[in-house]
């Protein structure tokens, strides 16, 4: 019974994520829509990380803010999102040493 619940929950989670991958390729969007869609990963990154920026180290929010600024600069230069995150992590690590 538990196995059926796990399989059902995985299907319910997977289907909404897989369908857009097949459907989006069939549509042709205008250039401004494509630019907007390409900015979504950075917007999601900002929404997920911003609360953590202010609470990196208790009593020292400036370290998190500097790490966030480094992430913004790296994203502005068009680096891969993984490199943006690694750059911010390395910055905060070096500032806390």
- What is the per-residue pLDDT across 20-29, written as a single tens digit (0 to 9) for each? 778 777 778 8
Which residues 6+ apart lie within 8 Å of 45 measured at CB?
71, 75, 81, 84, 85
**Could you give the number of structural domains in the chain?**
1
Provide the pLDDT for residue 43: 77
Number of other residues whose CB lies within 10 A of the CB of residue 62? 10
Residue 67 DSSP SS3: helix
Range of the domain at 69: 2-96
Q: What is the reported pTM?
A: 0.53
Region 52-61: mean pLDDT is: 80
Find out whether 67 and 95 touch, Cβ atoms under 8 Å: yes
Q: What is the pLDDT of residues 82-92, one digit of tens each?
A: 999 899 999 99
What single-letter DSSP state applies at residue 74? H
- pLDDT for 45 beyond 80: no
């Amino acid at each position: 019974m538990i196995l059926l619940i796990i399989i059902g929950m995985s299907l319910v989670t997977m289907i909404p994520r897989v369908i857009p991958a097949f459907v989006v390729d069939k549509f042709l969007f205008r250039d401004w829509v494509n630019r907007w869609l390409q900015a979504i990963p950075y917007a999601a990154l900002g929404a997920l990380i911003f609360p953590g920026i202010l609470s990196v180290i208790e009593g020292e929010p400036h370290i998190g803010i500097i790490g966030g600024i480094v992430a913004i600069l790296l994203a502005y230069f068009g680096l891969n999102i993984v490199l943006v995150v690694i750059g911010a992590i390395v910055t905060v690590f070096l500032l806390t040493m």
